[in-house]
């Protein structure tokens, strides 16, 4: 059995993988040979796409919907690669799927969000990949748990896979209507911080769940320094057998990608670094001052705590707290600080005061 892609394809895959921004696109699912081939040809024509993706085995949340065409679709992908020269990426969730994908010389594998949550499944995939040289991308788990994402990455690295990538596809949350999977950017940023050498893509399709807001999320990802996008595209999105609302035609994809501005860490201006440095010094100075002010504030909270202890007064004074919050929220516009931020800020200051006073009460 052939356990990896041919060497000429390995070279193309490597070259394409190292492009920034890296764009992976293709339909949510392979449906028919014609749909796969036509989508690949049109995506190639956009000149933006580096890697062609298609779901072969689809982990649907509920049974009864289309669960993927299965391995019958793999030869269609191979044909699409022959016609376009685009390396192929496929999602795998079991060791059998890994074997099937490798037998068909798929160039890149990815682990989906519903698989990343399960260490047994990830380990099974990792075991099936021992001794294989193939890039593997790992999507974040469906729920906001960084440890699971890290764990999956570690299992794949331990299997000896050298070329890995991460894909941020948002996290499920009950009852959210704006996004299908809210991005919770801070988690992707933290994952990036902890794994600086590993490329991080963003998957706006599964975050948005609807095509109207793809550009917005793609631009945010570009602004945050993501290395590229995995974005779904279909020749006739409205008739797609899965994820119809979030797919766009290759032509629309081109329009979106034409709009996204990719920024570099060092920018285009030669002396931008020095300018940034000066501004950052000012920020550091202000942060120091803020921290000193907070310390002074806590010292007063301590005095109040001592007084409450002596006079047997409860720590929590709801009315006083509501007054503080209302006073701050009323100034939100004038201060140019969002209400959301002010609530978070005062909540955490309040919590710290309570902890201080608790300590004093129980000393
Ligand atoms: C997909 O990429 O089509 C997919 C199933 O995505 P996710 O694992 O992010 O849900
Ligand atoms: Mn999909």
pLDDT tens for each residue of 288-347: 999 999 999 999 999 999 999 999 998 888 898 899 999 999 999 999 999 999 999 999
Instruction: Answer whether 206 contacts ligand 1 (Cβ < 6 A).
Output: yes
Closest to 70 in 3D by CA, of 28, 104, 30: 30
pLDDT tens for each residue of 244-280: 999 999 999 999 999 999 987 777 776 668 888 899 9
* CA–CA distance, 105 with 179 (Å, rounded to integer): 35
Instruction: Answer whether 180 contacts ligand 1 (Cβ < 6 A).
Output: no
The confidence score (pLDDT) of residue 3 equals 58
Residue with CA at minimum distance from ligand 1 atom 1: 28
Both structure tokens of 352: 């710290």
Nearest listed ligand to the Cα of residue 59 = 1
**What is the whole-number distance in angstroms between the Cα of residue 232 and the centre of ligand 2?**
7
Instruction: Answer whether 112 contacts ligand 1 (Cβ < 6 A).
Output: yes
Find where tokens 């005095």 sit. Answer: 303
Instruction: Answer whether 211 contacts ligand 1 (Cβ < 6 A).
Output: no
Ligand 1: which of 27, 28, 56, 57 to mutate, judged by most atoms within 8 Å of the beta carbon? 28
Cβ neighbours of 226 (radius 10 Å): 24
Q: How confident is the model at residue 1 (pLDDT cuts 50, 70, 90)?
A: very low
Instruction: Answer whether 28 contacts ligand 1 (Cβ < 6 A).
Output: yes
What's the full length of the chain, in residues? 363
Nearest listed ligand to the Cα of residue 246 = 2
Nearest listed ligand to the Cα of residue 169 = 1
For the chain, what is the largest distance between any 2 Cα atoms, rounded to a whole number of angstroms? 83
pLDDT tens for each residue of 111-159: 999 999 999 999 999 999 999 999 999 999 999 999 999 999 999 999 9
Domains and CATH numbers, the chain: 7-259 (3.20.20.70), 274-361 (1.20.59.10)
* CA–CA distance, 166 with 195 (Å, rounded to integer): 10
* CA–CA distance, 88 with 72 (Å, rounded to integer): 15
For 302-334, give the DSSP string.
HHHHHHHHHTT--S--HHHHHHHHHHHHHTHHH
Three-state DSSP class for residue 310: helix
Find where tokens 């963003």 sit. Answer: 202
* CA–CA distance, 261 with 281 (Å, rounded to integer): 27
Question: Residue 195: phi, psi to the nearest 5?
Answer: -130, 65
pTM of structure: 0.81
**What is the whole-number distance in angstroms between the Cα of residue 205 and the centre of ligand 2?**
7
* CA–CA distance, 45 with 215 (Å, rounded to integer): 20
Find where tokens 């748990």 sit. Answer: 145
182-209 per-residue burial string, b: 16 or more CB within 10 A, e: under 16: ebbbebbeebbeebeebbbbbbbbbbbb
């Amino acid at each position: 059995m052939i356990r990896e892609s041919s060497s000429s394809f390995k070279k193309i895959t490597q070259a394409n993988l190292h492009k920034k921004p890296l764009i992976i696109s293709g339909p949510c699912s392979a449906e028919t040979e014609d749909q796969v081939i036509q989508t690949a040809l049109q995506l190639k024509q956009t000149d933006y796409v580096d890697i062609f993706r298609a779901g072969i085995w689809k982990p649907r949340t509920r049974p009864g919907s289309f669960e993927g065409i299965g391995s019958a679709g793999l030869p269609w992908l191979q044909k699409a690669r022959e016609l376009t020269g685009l390396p192929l990426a496929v999602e795998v969730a079991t060791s059998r799927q890994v074997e099937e994908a490798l037998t068909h010389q798929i160039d890149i594998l990815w682990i989906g969000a519903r698989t990343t949550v399960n260490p047994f499944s990830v380990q099974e995939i990792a075991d099936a990949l021992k001794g294989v040289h193939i890039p593997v991308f790992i999507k974040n788990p469906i729920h906001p748990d960084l440890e699971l994402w890290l764990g999956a990455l570690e299992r794949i690295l331990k299997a000896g896979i050298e070329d890995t990538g991460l894909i941020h596809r948002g996290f499920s949350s009950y009852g959210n209507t704006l996004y299908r999977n809210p991005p919770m950017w801070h988690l992707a940023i933290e994952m990036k911080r902890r794994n600086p050498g590993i490329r991080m893509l963003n998957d706006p399709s599964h975050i948005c769940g609807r095509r109207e807001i793809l550009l917005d999320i793609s631009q945010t990802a570009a602004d945050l320094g993501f290395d590229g996008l995995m974005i779904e595209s279909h020749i006739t999105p409205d008739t797609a057998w899965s994820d119809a609302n979030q797919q766009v035609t290759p032509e629309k994809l081109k329009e979106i990608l034409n709009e996204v501005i990719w920024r570099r860490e060092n920018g285009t201006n030669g002396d931008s670094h020095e300018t940034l440095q000066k501004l950052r010094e000012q920020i550091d100075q202000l942060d120091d001052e803020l921290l000193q002010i907070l310390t002074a504030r806590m010292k007063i909270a301590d005095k109040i705590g001592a007084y409450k202890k002596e006079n047997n007064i409860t720590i929590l004074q709801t009315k006083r707290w509501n007054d503080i919050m209302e006073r701050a929220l009323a100034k939100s516009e004038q201060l140019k600080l969002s209400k959301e931020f002010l609530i978070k800020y005062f909540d955490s200051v309040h919590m710290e005061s309570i902890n201080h006073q608790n300590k004093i009460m129980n000393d």
